[in-house]
Structures are given as C-alpha cells and as structure tokens.
Amino acid sequence: MRKRPGIGAIHKQRVEQERFRGKATELQDNVFEQMTNQMEKFRTNLETFASKHRNEIKKNPAFRKQFQDMCASIGVDPLASSKGFWSELLGVGDFYYEIAVQVIEVCLATSPRNGGLITLGELRQRLIKARGKAQHHQEISNDDIIRAIKKLKVLGPGFSIVSLKGTQDTSDILIRSIPGELSADHTEVLKAAEAQSFTSVKALKSTLNWDDVRCLQILNELLRDGVAWVDEQSPEKMYWFPSFFKPLMSEDEIVLPPPN
C-alpha cells in the first residue's frame, strides 16, 4: 500500500510554508525599506542639487524644465504649494503663481478682441513685455506658461489648453480663457484658419472634406462665440480670427500692473 502523508508530514509542510511566507514578507519588507531609503537618498540629492543650482533654475528655462521633469519622475512637485521647502528654496512657487496671475490679466484684457482665445506665442510676448525690467532676467518659456496655466486649471473650469496639432509643440497651442470646451470640429477649423487667420466654407470643404452644412454650422458657432468675425466684401464670405491676426499682436496698449 502506498504510504499516505502522515499528520507529521502535513504539519512539517505547514511549518515550512509559514517559514516561506515569513521570508517572503521579510523580503518584501526589505525591498520596501530599500526602496524608501533610495527615495530618501534620491530626494536628498535632488534637494542638494536644487540648492546648488538654484540660480540656474531661476534663470534658465531649459534647465528649469529638465529639473521639473526630474522632480516629476520621482513624484515631487515643487509647485504643489507656495509655502514649504521647495518654494522657499527656489522661490519657484511664487514664480509660477505670478505668471498665472499675469496670464489671467492678459487674457482678460485681450478677450474682448479675440473671444477669449489667444495663441501661446502672443500670450508669451505680452507677458514678457509686461513683466518689466525687474524681472527681465527671469526669462519665461512657453513651458513655464503652460505649467502655470495647468495650475490654474486646478482652480476651476475657466482655462483650457487647446493644441492644434495634438503635440506638445508649443507653436500651435491656444489658451482658452472662457469656460466651455472647444469641440474637435471647432479645433479643425481653427487649425485650417491659423496660417492666414481666415478661412471660408469653400476652403474648409476642400481641406477637411466636410459638406456645406457642417462647415457653415461650425463657422456660425465660432461667430457666435466671438472667436470669428465675418467679412462680406470678398467674392466669398470670409471668416477671420483675431486670435491669429498678426497686427493685433504688436499692439502696445496692454499694460499690466507691476507685481508687488
């Protein structure tokens, strides 16, 4: 007769299993502890790095971006609060807060003209112009502006970032400062109109392969939103977009109050 495992054997098995599980947990704990130590080391190194390169981070937008990416990769957000270690170390929190406030001001000032839709390029130009001498050595990049706006988005639905090319390439980004999402169709029309700052039903039909009805509907919605104006003195009705209209960008009128 084959020998069946006896109670002793089962018991022994169980003890061994326990020992294995214990070991596994111990291993797990070990790994976890090691990871935590690593993170701590990493974080300390990052802090040391940040304080050593503080000036560089403040002055150089490319360097600043790399630093931000580094932080993000280990889950550290220097912008999370305007108080605390990071902002004190770098004054970075204030830096972005200030940009965010100025972005709001520029958008408010220009929205009567462009229906609350401004290109990132124009926004940056106006910010730089308005920031004045005191801050001129703190160069701001498109990336800085986008980060500041993303912080704003956390506060409410007022701001959205519209990418015309679906990439993070900042040359085709629009900032919308009026609530309400732009539909994909709206974005297609904006894309089509961007180069010359105008378009027409005919042009849209050929570029996007839409029918008359769809073209007209979207264009009328953009008219209704104040983003487009109509010109009836050309052979075909033309729809113009102040957001892309170059001469508008060289207007010197808009002046922001100096920061405190």
Partner 1 sequence: MEFSWPWEYDFPPFFTLQPNLDTLRKQLEAWRKLVLDYCRHNKIFVLDVQESISLFQNKAIDRQLSTEGINRVLESLLEYNQIEWCDKAKKQCLVYWKNPQEWGNLIYRYASDKGMTNTVCTFYELTAGDDVQNEEFAGMDQSLLVKALKTLEATNKAEIIMFGGNEGVKFF
For residue 119, list its beta bridge partners: 174
x/- string (CB under 8 A) for partner 1, residues 107-146?
-----xx---------------------------------
> What is the closest distance, in whole angstroms, from the C-beta atom of residue 84 to partner 1 in the complex?
43
AA letter at 116: G
> What is the closest distance, in whole angstroms, from the C-beta atom of residue 237 to partner 1 in the complex?
9
Please say whether the beta carbons of 103 and 119 come within 8 A.
Answer: no
CA distance 108 to 102: 10
CA distance 81 to 9: 60
Positions of E strands within the chain: 117-119, 160-163, 173-176, 198-199, 229-231, 238-240
CA distance 74 to 2: 59
CA distance 26 to 24: 5
> What is the closest distance, in whole angstroms, from the C-beta atom of residue 199 to partner 1 in the complex?
13
- Residue 90 or 238 having the CB closest to partner 1: 238
x/- string (CB under 8 A) for partner 1, residues 178-217?
--------------------x-------------------
x/- string (CB under 8 A) for partner 1, residues 219-238?
----xx-x--xxxxxx---x
Binding segment for partner 1 (CB under 8 A), chosen from 96-104, 177-185, 186-194, 245-253, is 245-253
How far is the CA of 65 from the CAs of 50, 58, 174, 192, 251, in angstroms?
Answer: 13, 10, 20, 31, 30
- Residue 70 or 109 having the CB closest to partner 1: 109
- Contacts to partner 1 by CB under 8 A: 112-113, 198, 223-224, 226, 229-234, 238, 240, 242, 245, 247-248, 251
